[in-house]
Structure 1
Amino acid sequence: MNLPNKLSLARIILVPVFAAFLLATSLPGHYVWALLVFAAASYTDHLDGKIARSRNMITTFGQFLDPLADKVLVMTALICFASMGLCNIWFVLIIMLREFAVTSLRLVAVESGRVIAANKWGKTKTVSQMIAVLVVLILQSMQELGGFYAASGAFLLVGNIFVGISCVFTIISGVIYIKQNYQVINTMK
């Protein structure tokens, strides 16, 4: 297994650590710890792609593992946020629906010997989702550490706006993936 694939795998391994910190509400500074773990995991997404492209280490396995690792990380964050009342459940459900649809499309493509790599819209979607999660975590960390309780409603609103924006990018990228790869769906008949 090459270094970029190890970094993608490390991102998946960091998911339970991130979730444990995020959900450990009795732990002082739990949002800060969750933020640090999520930021480190998100950075591995940038790093694995950069290394794979610069060293010509792009593999079929990596093209499948990298977006899967992103989905596991982001969906864990959003599901936790929804359960904690930090974001709108409808945004999470829409994002989950798109992720399942595109992942299913990728699996069908693999069965026919084809790999659907991430395109610029998929990458934009992932970046917007990671930024949204980081914004929510930063705002909650500020509230936790700085006592901004009077601003908690505004923090929730701002966090939801960022998650909503990422939801729009998620829908757009999902429609584009399906349109660009419609022939894969046609082969299922």
Structure 2
Amino acid sequence: MNLANRITVARILLVPIIMFFLLVKVKFPHIRIEEFSITYNQIIAALIFIVAASTDSLDGYIARKRNLVTNLGKLLDPLADKLLVTAVLVSLVEMDKVDAWIVIVIISREWAVTGLRQIALLEGTVMAASKWGKAKTAAQITAIIALLINNFPFTFLDFPFDVIASWAAAIITVYSGIEYFVKNKHVIDFTDKQ
């Protein structure tokens, strides 16, 4: 297994660690500053999430730079991304930090586009990531970080950045999904060839 794929596998292995700090009731103290309160669990989970999310660009860069692009990497990289984002978003629903409908919209889009990509692969076509797909990823990561750290430092300004970021992530996610289907509608053949 090459370096790029090891980094991708490391991202997958960080998912249960993040979930442990978010969901297991470990008695770590809270940091309390006026109206703001956050547990050390959340801080640790947020830091691990940031490290894991940053490896997404790193493994791709290494794979292209060192000519280490493999079929395993093409399979694992999007899987790692989806596992990371899905696991943390579901955890945030459990923690009552984000509305379930936003998470359902995001996860539905991810699986719909994954299905479209699988159909394209069967046809021998590789669907490249679009600029809106990259914007979607950035919006989701931004929203997740804001939710993980309880909207810090915007809490002190009484500005709901976490809510706005969540809505923005949902809207950009839907738009990027629609764009994928419109641009790749030729991949889906509704005619019966039997």
TM-score, normalised to structure 1, is: 0.84
| Structure 1: stretches of 5+ with no match in the other structure | 144-150
Residue 97 of structure 2 corresponds to 86
SS in structure 2 at match of 1:133: helix
Query: 1:114-169 CA distances to partner (integer Å, 9 max, x unpaired)?
Result: 332322221211111111111111226x69xxxxxxx59x58x4322211111111
Shift of 1:35: 0.9
Shift of 1:187: 6.8
SS in structure 2 at match of 1:50: helix
The total of aligned residue pairs comes to: 180
Residue 21 of structure 1 corresponds to 21
For residues 10 and 60 of structure 2, the distance between their equivalents in structure 1, rounded to whole angstroms, comes to: 14
Quick one: which amino acid aligns to residue 57 of structure 1? L
For residues 120 and 60 of structure 1, the distance between their equivalents in structure 2, rounded to whole angstroms, comes to: 23
Shift of 1:112: 2.6
Quick one: which amino acid aligns to residue 27 of structure 1? K
Asked whether the equivalents of residues 39 and 134 of structure 1 are also in contact (C-alpha less than 8 Å), the reply is: yes
Larger radius of gyration: 2
Residue 147 of structure 1 corresponds to none
| Structure 1 or 2: more strand by fraction | 2
Alignment of 1:71-150 (within 5 A): 71-139=82-150
For residues 55 and 166 of structure 2, the distance between their equivalents in structure 1, rounded to whole angstroms, comes to: 21
Residue 146 of structure 1 corresponds to none
Query: 4+ residue runs of structure 1 moved beyond 3 angstroms?
Result: none
Shift of 1:188: 7.5
Residue 8 of structure 1 corresponds to 8
| Structure 2: stretches of 5+ with no match in the other structure | 29-39
Q: 1:160 aligns with which of 160, 163, 167?
A: 163
1:171 and 2:174 aligned: yes
For residues 187 and 48 of structure 1, the distance between their equivalents in structure 2, rounded to whole angstroms, comes to: 37
For residues 170 and 136 of structure 1, the distance between their equivalents in structure 2, rounded to whole angstroms, comes to: 17
Alignment of 1:23-62 (within 5 A): 23-28=23-28, 29-62=40-73
For residues 189 and 24 of structure 2, the distance between their equivalents in structure 1, rounded to whole angstroms, comes to: 46
